[in-house]
């Protein structure tokens, strides 16, 4: 029976990974159903409501009848708005014909990799990094090549280590700044160095910039702005994080000419299109006031200070100051408890849901990821529970 069952599934499923945040969330919710009080620091989504003017635009579009199929590449209104936004924020001449719209940023990761990589190709990706990168690379049959992000470098790649991994088989380089799970932010100089190295190869670049507006210090830089890079870069952004729109499922990317048709074909074969009323809400987001985003970032900034200071005061825990996104990535190796075990026990024994760094690759295995998308009151309570746990258990 077991053998028959196995034979009915595709072998390729063995190569498909997952996102641990969703399984920890499911476990945390199960504990809540048993009556436990859980503080959620596991899931990577802003805890703010989508700004009202964006919701109004979406609702108005539904009532105006924008509820049917629409072009798979995206509505021209959103492609134009996104091109204007990317041109303004990246200082690049982005044309609407090069902008595509998908159901979140995620499809661009998956389909971008499938559209560019053959078995035997190598793909360089950040470790620790968003787990879907490695999953999609492995699914495509290409070889994942981890680029380590070290704590001593504030989780920004070392150009020398990038150089050591680039070769004639490198088909794609994935970069992500500001970064999930570390909050690391690459400087213009880091990206210029990377661009200089990549320019010597035939590799495509996938620059995941979904946290571009979530920066606490310094300036945002995109590798696409470096000489010769725009023509080979999938410049990826979306609505989920910046506008607290995770559930709307909408993202967009400026892609090189040669990738426009292949990516649209993936959309036609999978989701057909993004709901047009969602896209019209996206137009309102990109063209409307940014006050709500600024207010959200002011709150995240206060929480960042609270969380990082609180973590550094815990026995055996050290935490770098993240410069972007809304994650802290503390090192817990001096607690004497492995990070995987610590994450598990914090949830089971203290009701604090966090992720083990190993969910993001091998390099972060001594760390935890805390998403500070929760109230200052809950963050304070979570830190207190962690302090209590470590006071009893740290070695
Ligand atoms: C680095 C990174 N890229 C992409 C995504 C996916 O975002 P979306 O909701 O737009 O699919 C996430 C979500 O957590 C992320 O952290």
Q: What is the pLDDT of residues 109-120, one digit of tens each?
A: 999 999 999 999
Helices (H), strands (E): how many in the chain?
Answer: 13, 12
- Position 50 scores a pLDDT of 98
Beta strand 143-148 with 251-254 is unpaired
pLDDT at 22: 85
Q: What number does the ligand 1 atom closest to the CA of 21 have?
A: 14
Ligand 1 pocket test: pick from 46, 50, 209, 238 the residue with the most ligand atoms within 8 Å of its Cβ: 238
Pocket-forming residues, ligand 1, beta carbon under 6 Å:
44, 104-106, 130, 176, 180, 208, 210, 238, 240, 246, 251
pLDDT in tens, 159-204: 999 999 999 999 999 999 999 999 999 999 999 999 999 999 999 9
Cα–ligand 1 centroid distance for 213 (angstroms)? 14
pLDDT at position 105 is: 98
Q: How far apart are CA 176 and CA 187, in angstroms?
A: 12
**pLDDT at 220 > cutoff 60:** yes
Residue 4 CA to ligand 1 center (angstroms) comes to: 36
Give residue 11 CA to ligand 1 midpoint distance, Å.
27
Cβ atoms of 90 and 326 closer than 8 Å: no
List 124's β-bridge partners, or say none: 145, 173
Q: What percent of the chain has pLDDT over 90?
A: 94
Whether the Cβ atoms of residue 332 and residue 292 lie closer than 8 Å to each other: no
pLDDT digit string, tens, across residues 147-156: 999 999 999 9
238-281 pLDDT, tens digit each:
999 999 999 999 999 999 999 999 999 999 999 999 999 999 99
What's the predicted TM-score (pTM) here?
Answer: 0.96
Question: Quick one: which atom of ligand 1 is closest to the CA of 45?
Answer: 14
Question: 37: buried, middle or exposed (CB in 10 Å: 19+, 13-18, 0-12)?
Answer: exposed
Mean pLDDT of 210-215: 97
Mutate to test the pocket of ligand 1, among 105, 207, 238 (most ligand atoms within 8 A of CB): 105
Query: Is residue 64's pLDDT more than 60?
Result: yes
Place of tokens 């990168």: 133
Averaged over 61-80, what is the pLDDT?
98
Q: Tell me what pLDDT residue 181 has.
A: 98
Whole-number Å distance, alpha carbon 106 to ligand 1 midpoint, is 6
Ligand 1 atom showing the smallest separation from residue 325 Cα: 16
How confident is the model at residue 395, as a pLDDT? 80
Residue of the nearest CA to atom 16 in ligand 1? 180
Atom of ligand 1 nearest to the CA of 239: 10
Among 208, 210, 282, which residue has the most ligand 1 atoms within 8 Å of its CB, making it the best to mutate?
210
Distance between Cα 130 and ligand 1 center (Å): 8
Alpha carbon distances (Å) from 324 to 57, 220, 247, 314: 29, 9, 22, 23
What is the distance in A from the centroid of ligand 1 to the CA of 210? Answer: 6
pLDDT at 2: 56
- In the block, residue with structure tokens 């969330």: 25
The secondary element (H helix, E strand) that includes residue 368 is: strand 368-371
Ligand 1 mutation pick, 22, 127, 180, 248, max ligand atoms within 8 A of CB: 180
Contact indicator for 319, 311 with CB cutoff of 8 Å:
yes
CB contact set of 99 (below 8 Å; sequence gap of 6+): 74, 79, 82, 83, 86, 252, 253, 254, 255
| Atom number in ligand 1 closest to CA 246 | 9
Q: 327-375: per-residue pLDDT in tens?
A: 999 999 999 999 999 999 999 999 999 999 999 999 999 999 999 999 9
Find residue 371's DSSP bridge partners: 327
How far is ligand 1, taken at its centre, from the CA of residue 178, in Å? 12
Using the mean position of ligand 1's atoms as its centre, give its distance from the Cα of residue 179 in Å: 10
Q: How far is the CA of 236 from the centre of ligand 1 (A)?
A: 10
Supply the residue whose CA is at minimum distance from atom 7 of ligand 1.
105
């Amino acid at each position: 029976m077991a053998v028959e069952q196995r034979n009915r599934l595709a072998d390729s499923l063995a190569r498909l990974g997952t996102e641990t945040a969703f399984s920890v969330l499911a476990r945390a919710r199960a504990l809540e159903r048993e009556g436990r009080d859980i503080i959620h620091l596991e899931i990577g989504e802003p805890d703010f409501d989508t700004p009202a003017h964006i919701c109004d635009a979406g609702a108005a579009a539904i009532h105006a009848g924008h509820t049917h199929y629409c072009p798979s590449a995206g509505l021209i209104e959103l492609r134009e708005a996104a091109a204007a936004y990317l041109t303004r924020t990246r200082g690049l001449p982005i044309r609407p014909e090069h902008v595509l719209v998908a159901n979140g940023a995620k499809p661009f990761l998956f389909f971008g990799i499938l559209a560019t990589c053959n078995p035997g190709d190598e793909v360089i990706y950040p470790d620790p990094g968003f787990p879907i990168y490695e999953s999609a690379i492995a699914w495509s049959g290409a070889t994942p090549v981890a680029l380590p992000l070290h704590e001593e470098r504030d989780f920004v790649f070392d150009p020398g280590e990038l150089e050591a991994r680039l070769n004639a088989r490198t088909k794609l380089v994935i970069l992500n700044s500001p970064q999930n799970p570390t909050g690391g932010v690459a400087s213009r100089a880091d990206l210029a160095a990377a661009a200089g190295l990549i320019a010597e190869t035939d590799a495509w670049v996938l620059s995941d910039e979904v946290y571009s507006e979530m920066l606490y210090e310094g300036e945002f830089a995109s590798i696409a702005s470096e000489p010769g890079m725009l023509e080979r870069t999938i410049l990826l952004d979306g609505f989920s994080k910046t506008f607290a729109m995770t559930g709307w499922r909408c993202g967009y990317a400026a892609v090189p000419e040669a990738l426009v048709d292949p990516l649209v074909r993936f959309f036609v074969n999978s989701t057909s299109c993004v709901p047009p009323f969602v896209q019209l809400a996206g137009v309102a987001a990109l063209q409307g006031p940014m006050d709500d985003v600024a207010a959200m970032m002011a709150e995240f900034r206060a929480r960042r200070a609270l969380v990082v200071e609180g973590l550094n005061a815990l026995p055996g825990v050290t935490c770098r100051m993240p410069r972007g996104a809304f994650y802290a990535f503390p090192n817990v190796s001096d607690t004497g408890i492995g990070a995987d075990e610590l994450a598990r026990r914090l949830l089971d024994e203290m009701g604090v849901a966090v992720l083990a760094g190993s969910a993001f690759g091998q390099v972060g295995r001594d760390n935890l990821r805390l998403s500070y998308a929760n109230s200052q009151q809950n963050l304070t309570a979570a830190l207190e529970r962690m302090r209590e746990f470590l006071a009893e258990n740290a070695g």
